Amino acid sequence: MVGMTRPDYTLTVNCPDQKGIIAAVTQIIAAGGGNILNLSQHTAVDVNIFLLKADFSVDETFAQAAFETTFQEVAERFQMDWRLHDKAARPRVAILVSKTSHCLYELLLKHQDGELECDFPVIIANHSDLAAVATQFHIPFFQVDPAKGKAAYEADVQKILEDWKIDTVVLARYMQILSPDFTRRWAYQVINIHHGFLPAFMGAKPYHQAWHRGVKIIGATAHFANENLDQGPIISQDTIQVPDTCSIAEFVQMGKDVERKVLFEALKSFLNRQVFVYGGRTFLLP
Amino acid sequence: MVGMTRPDYTLTVNCPDQKGIIAAVTQIIAAGGGNILNLSQHTAVDVNIFLLKADFSVDETFAQAAFETTFQEVAERFQMDWRLHDKAARPRVAILVSKTSHCLYELLLKHQDGELECDFPVIIANHSDLAAVATQFHIPFFQVDPAKGKAAYEADVQKILEDWKIDTVVLARYMQILSPDFTRRWAYQVINIHHGFLPAFMGAKPYHQAWHRGVKIIGATAHFANENLDQGPIISQDTIQVPDTCSIAEFVQMGKDVERKVLFEALKSFLNRQVFVYGGRTFLLP
Amino acid sequence: MVGMTRPDYTLTVNCPDQKGIIAAVTQIIAAGGGNILNLSQHTAVDVNIFLLKADFSVDETFAQAAFETTFQEVAERFQMDWRLHDKAARPRVAILVSKTSHCLYELLLKHQDGELECDFPVIIANHSDLAAVATQFHIPFFQVDPAKGKAAYEADVQKILEDWKIDTVVLARYMQILSPDFTRRWAYQVINIHHGFLPAFMGAKPYHQAWHRGVKIIGATAHFANENLDQGPIISQDTIQVPDTCSIAEFVQMGKDVERKVLFEALKSFLNRQVFVYGGRTFLLP
Amino acid sequence: MVGMTRPDYTLTVNCPDQKGIIAAVTQIIAAGGGNILNLSQHTAVDVNIFLLKADFSVDETFAQAAFETTFQEVAERFQMDWRLHDKAARPRVAILVSKTSHCLYELLLKHQDGELECDFPVIIANHSDLAAVATQFHIPFFQVDPAKGKAAYEADVQKILEDWKIDTVVLARYMQILSPDFTRRWAYQVINIHHGFLPAFMGAKPYHQAWHRGVKIIGATAHFANENLDQGPIISQDTIQVPDTCSIAEFVQMGKDVERKVLFEALKSFLNRQVFVYGGRTFLLP
């Protein structure tokens, strides 16, 4: 949501559902010098969890450290899991790619258009095909070599991510499986796009699977990568109707538009702090 | 939204955007013995209006009159337009029909399924065709006669609405134009379904208009009726793609599914107090 | 497709792709006194199969038996699997239900509206809940008793289907698993609606599975029933986006609209002879 | 449609509906050495027009001139408007742009991906902003100057189009109104994208109009440009639901994805010879 006054902070809270949480939270914000611009709140009744996101601007009396101290007291009373995000600190996001360009272009073009509140300091690839695209957008491009063996190769990736102070990793049709060590180290910070409607059609060649099954709809799924391939918490999904007069090659082609849309939406929601993880799944607040 | 604790009240507020509104509102609710279950809030930056909807349950200390007195003081400070809705008081909704049954069935079936929080005490029609449907659902059916002249005829309708203590009127493909007197008396309480995507294709035979224009998409629009035909504030809209291999007759047939969906959604949002009117248009909060 | 001239026959053909099939087929129709109103043709290049559907009207010179004899000669040359459907012979379709009414109402209302070219001579149920709906539409209602044991119970169903000369069976949220004997006897003549997006979420409580997995989209699937539960060839599917602020109960409610739409579309396509089965999947021609 | 055998020719036909057209057409193709790969046919019953598109490959006996002579005889009998398109002759398409890049990128990226069967020999603009994009894709970029006056300026555009032997012009968010002289000279060869759901919201700032009207859906429309602004025959349209919590700025942003999709689809359909114009509207065959 775009406002004429831009928010300075986003506060995210989740805790067991109880009385009076919203009043308590909003009162601390008001008392600390904050003005709430947008507040989203949801109670997931099936698992009794309360979720809240508040975007607020601040006046000159606001002091972040003091706010956090005061808030922690309330947080303990309500058993809150919470975090205050300073909007001025833009996350640094690395994009990992292989040979296919449509997801990479989508992220770079939307970023250029001001729709993604992050920096893309570096693009990492296991092939050289997309180096020219990185250069067009003036972003350093690193090619790493899976032939070295997974451990050595992932160490190279890890080193680049550290050198460039990366917060979050986006796998934009990156065709390598990450090790459990890697996904654990980057838990809930690696976003992958899978070119199928999960949990159907996990693994390789989902469009071939879908065509032979005779599905009438194909989809794509963006999710956090974890140690189980294509089984991490889902962030975003979309589908399209496919006429039965389509070939497998046409499925692949038509699927690209869904993939790029879903990956963009997932990253955007993530950057806007809309994505909460609880009980093995995500909850996205509006 | 379904919760394990059902809300007892819904509070709706709109006012010019200012600092501290949410904190002020939520504090009064908490102090009065209310527990907020869902809170939606939006600031429409293009017209600088603040909108809020809060569903809350109450404990035994809650007193409605005292709450309203306290709230009015805050309301004046913030120039609020506000209303407290007691969820126990189900709105009484009259359905007006002509000959086509698909919208009428949709409302009655969804109501039977528990999805519409209102009563349907009466069905009014200018033809007898749908009397059997009313009887199937055990609802009194009144036939009125436009041949009497608009004034006499509308007086009959008005009398039935008063006798049955009706709050809200739904025009479920009712093929008579209402007089400005009538729509003004029932301002923002008459919901009409127009079988076209407004503001395109106002007036008669919208599917014929659409087909001859060669549109690739058809739609339906639910809106508040006002003195300008098909120009009242829009509540709900939807569209579907139509292949060019469709005839006008098929447009009419395919459009029915959109019409019944859009009318149901509009009434449901209205009953859930999600519909705010400001500046000649509506804003629906989630 | 609605035409001013209604087709008298539909011819369906599938065979290995070869040169000259369309010319050969259309020439026989023209020579026999037929006038093609709509012709759909598709070559599925991934499996090299040719599919054709032709709707045609006939003049007084047309003789069905002579046509079939002539056509069979061409059919052998091209190794065709073919069938001529006389549109005047409306299929007799039995609807099987349990307790939930939304799919049953959808079929009956669309049928009443002239959108399904079949007869519904009988409704069969394993509960009495929907007897009143059947009566409203003046259709005989039979209740059968699964407590007798599957063999005895299915024999009862089979007897009703035979007594009423049923061609096709629709399972409209019928909550009993059919035996392999039954599905084999009625191969490609039993259409089931599954309340999930197959092949994800097979089996029981698909909405619960979907909610806990945190999917962002739910769907429904109509398919031919075969001996493997929820794995028969898919006829129709659709999906809707579900906000994460929905409960499981809301998934169930929102899913109903998708289920009824998908089941209706599947039956309509089937009756219009658009559904071809080849290689374990269906192909629907426009 | 992608086939293992690529079609060599596409034949398009429209004529008053009569008996035996398909048989006559397919027989000439077969006799001439052609093998039909896809055939689409539709009779628009509301205006009694027959439309046909046939893609076919040819063997070494095929002679284009002889085919056209033979076909012309049949064409006269049926009063056909027809054309034979040689697929080897790729249309030469000029893209006209102003400052916004999303539609231009979409066309260039899809073209690079092999989805548009045309050449883009030249990009013409009334601003210099997008010169770098043209250069990235190695396409000559010409800047023309509307300040010269419409006649002189359009003469410059016309000269470039002639010099580069252009067949078709795509206006990819080109913010200049073309003169009636120009659109008449290029009748049915200029495709424009309008950022609104026509026929609603013609003219300037359609998203502003839509927001103030409170529509719940926004759309985009690709159409042939003619002498009446935004009123030429529609080729492609799409819409998206917009929550009321969106600002005008967000409408503009969200609309871009619809615009680029609709313009791409329109051009693709046009190049595939799927677009027929009759009675002031288009008919697209599958």
State which residue of chain D sits closest to B212, comparing Cα positions: D281
CB A152, CB A144: distance < 8 Å: no
Q: What is the pLDDT of residue C6?
A: 80
Q: Which of A157-161, B149-153, D160-164 has the weakest average pLDDT?
A: B149-153
Query: With pLDDT > 90 as the criterion, what percentage of chain B qualifies?
Result: 86
Active site residue D230: yes
Segment C156-175 mean pLDDT: 97
A208-218 tens-digit pLDDT: 999 999 999 99
Identify all chain A residues contacting C199, using CB atoms and an 8 Å cutoff: 200-201, 213, 215
* Confidence class for position D200, pLDDT limits 50, 70, 90: confident
Segment C112-132 mean pLDDT: 97
Helix axes D21-31, D64-77, angle to 10 degrees: 160
B172-225 tens-digit pLDDT: 999 999 999 999 999 999 999 999 988 888 888 999 999 999 999 999 999 999
B244-257 tens-digit pLDDT: 999 999 999 999 99
Taking CB atoms and an 8 Å cut-off, how many pairs form between chains B and C?
36
| pLDDT at position C2 over 80 | no
Domains of chain D: 9-86 (3.30.70.260), 92-284 (3.40.50.170)
* Confidence class for position C54, pLDDT limits 50, 70, 90: very high
Segment D122-132 mean pLDDT: 97
State which residue of chain A sits closest to D265, comparing Cα positions: A254
Segment B11-23 mean pLDDT: 92
What DSSP string runs through C39-103?
EEEEEETTTTEEEEEEEEEE-TT--HHHHHHHHHHHHHHHT-EEEEEETTSPPEEEEEE-S--HH
Strands, E assignment, chain A? 9-16, 34-44, 49-58, 81-86, 92-97, 119-125, 141-143, 168-171, 190-194, 217-224, 234-241, 275-278, 281-284
- Mutation pick from C216, C236, C278, C282 vs chain A, by most beta carbons of A within 10 Å, is C216
Query: What rounded mean pLDDT belongs to chain C?
Result: 94
| pLDDT at position A2 over 60 | no
Q: What is the pLDDT of residue B229?
A: 83
Q: Which helix (H) or strand (E) holds A111?
A: helix A102-112
* Confidence class for position D110, pLDDT limits 50, 70, 90: very high
Q: Which of A163, A230, A238, A244 is catalytic?
A: A230
A214 and C45 within 8 Å at the Cβ level: the answer is no
Q: How far does the CA of residue A14 sit from the closest CA of chain B (Å)? A: 14
Of C102, C247, C261, the CB nearest to B2: C247
CB A103, CB A175: distance < 8 Å: no
Segment D52-69 mean pLDDT: 95
What does the alpha-carbon distance between residue D25 and residue D38 come to, in Å, rounded to a whole number?
Answer: 13
Helix, coil or strand: residue B48: coil
B33-58 tens-digit pLDDT: 998 888 999 988 899 999 999 999 99
Higher pLDDT, D37 or B81: B81
- Chains in contact with chain D (at least 3 beta-carbon pairs closer than 8 A): A, B, C
Q: What is the pLDDT of residue A94?
A: 98
Q: What is the pLDDT of residue B84?
A: 97
Cβ contacts of residue B202 below 8 Å, gap of 6+? B194, B196, B229, B230, B231
Q: How far does the CA of residue C83 sit from the closest CA of chain D (Å)? A: 20
| pLDDT at position A207 over 70 | yes
Complex-level ipTM: 0.92
Segment C115-122 mean pLDDT: 97
D7-50 tens-digit pLDDT: 899 999 999 988 889 999 999 999 999 988 889 999 888 899 99
A235-254 tens-digit pLDDT: 999 999 999 999 999 999 99
A143-201 tens-digit pLDDT: 999 999 999 999 999 999 999 999 999 999 999 999 999 999 999 999 999 998 888 88
Interface residues of chain C, partner chain B, Cβ below 8 Å: 1-3, 101-102, 105, 109, 113, 115, 136, 243, 245, 247, 249-250, 253, 256-257, 261, 286
| pLDDT at position A3 over 80 | no
Q: What is the pLDDT of residue A236?
A: 97
| pLDDT at position B3 over 60 | no
B1 and C243 within 8 Å at the Cβ level: the answer is no
B245 and C1 within 8 Å at the Cβ level: the answer is yes
D41 and C42 within 8 Å at the Cβ level: the answer is no
Interface residues of chain B, partner chain D, Cβ below 8 Å: 42, 44-46, 197-201, 211-217, 219, 233-239, 241, 243-245, 247-248, 279-286
Peptide bond into C180 cis (omega under 30): no
Q: Which of these, D227, D233, D123, lies nearest to D185 by C-alpha position?
A: D227
State which residue of chain B sits closest to A56, comparing Cα positions: B19
Q: Burial level of A231, CB count in 10 A (0-12/13-18/19+)?
A: middle
Reading the block at residue A48, the tokens are: 């009794």
Reading the block at residue B166, the tokens are: 């009706």
* Confidence class for position A73, pLDDT limits 50, 70, 90: very high
* Confidence class for position D265, pLDDT limits 50, 70, 90: very high
Query: With pLDDT > 70 as the criterion, what percentage of chain D qualifies?
Result: 98
CB B40, CB B52: distance < 8 Å: yes
Identify all chain A residues contacting C232, using CB atoms and an 8 Å cutoff: none
- Mutation pick from C1, C2, C11, C22 vs chain D, by most beta carbons of D within 10 Å, is C22
Cβ contacts of residue B113 below 8 Å, gap of 6+? C102, C253, C256
Cβ contacts of residue B177 below 8 Å, gap of 6+? B229
C286 and B115 within 8 Å at the Cβ level: the answer is no
Q: What is the pLDDT of residue D5?
A: 64
| pLDDT at position C144 over 50 | yes
Q: What is the pLDDT of residue D2?
A: 36
Identify all chain B residues contacting C243, using CB atoms and an 8 Å cutoff: 286
Segment B261-265 mean pLDDT: 98
What does the alpha-carbon distance between residue A29 and residue A41 come to, in Å, rounded to a whole number?
Answer: 15
At A99, give phi and psi (nearest 5°).
-115, -20
Tokens 């036909």 belong to: D13
Q: How many helices (H) and strands (E) does chain B have?
A: 8, 13
Q: Which of these, B275, B43, B281, lies nearest to D210 by C-alpha position?
A: B281
Segment C259-285 mean pLDDT: 97
What does the alpha-carbon distance between residue C2 and residue A185 come to, in Å, rounded to a whole number?
Answer: 61
Segment A82-110 mean pLDDT: 97
Other beta carbons within 10 angstroms of residue C170's beta carbon come to 27
State which residue of chain C sits closest to A237, comparing Cα positions: C216
D202-238 tens-digit pLDDT: 888 999 999 999 999 999 999 999 998 888 999 999 9
What pTM was computed for the model? 0.95
Residues of C marked as catalytic? 230
* Confidence class for position D90, pLDDT limits 50, 70, 90: very high
Please give the DSSP secondary-structure letter assigned to residue C190: E
D279 and B245 within 8 Å at the Cβ level: the answer is no
Q: What is the pLDDT of residue C5?
A: 65
Q: What is the pLDDT of residue B5?
A: 64
C8-22 tens-digit pLDDT: 999 999 999 888 899
Q: What is the pLDDT of residue D237?
A: 97
Query: With pLDDT > 90 as the criterion, what percentage of chain C qualifies?
Result: 86
Q: How far is CA B171 from CA A146, B92, B157, C259, in A?
A: 66, 14, 13, 27
A44-66 tens-digit pLDDT: 888 999 999 999 999 999 999 99
* Beta strands B141-143 and B119-125, pairing class: parallel
Query: What rounded mean pLDDT belongs to chain D?
Result: 94
3-state secondary structure chain D: CCCCCCCCEEEEEEEECCCCHHHHHHHHHHHCCEEEEEEEEEEECCCCEEEEEEEEEECCCCCHHHHHHHHHHHHHHCCCEEEEEECCCCCEEEEEECCCCHHHHHHHHHHHCCCCCCEEEEEEECCCCCHHHHHHCCCCEEECCHHHCHHHHHHHHHHHHHHCCCCEEEECCCCCCCCHHHHHHCCCCEEEEECCCCCCCCCCCHHHHHHHHCCCEEEEEEEECCCCCCCCCEEEEEEEECCCCCCHHHHHHHHHHHHHHHHHHHHHHHHCCCEEEECCEEEECC
Q: Which of D59, D230, D244, D257 is catalytic?
A: D230
Query: What rounded mean pLDDT belongs to chain B?
Result: 94
CB C10, CB C85: distance < 8 Å: yes
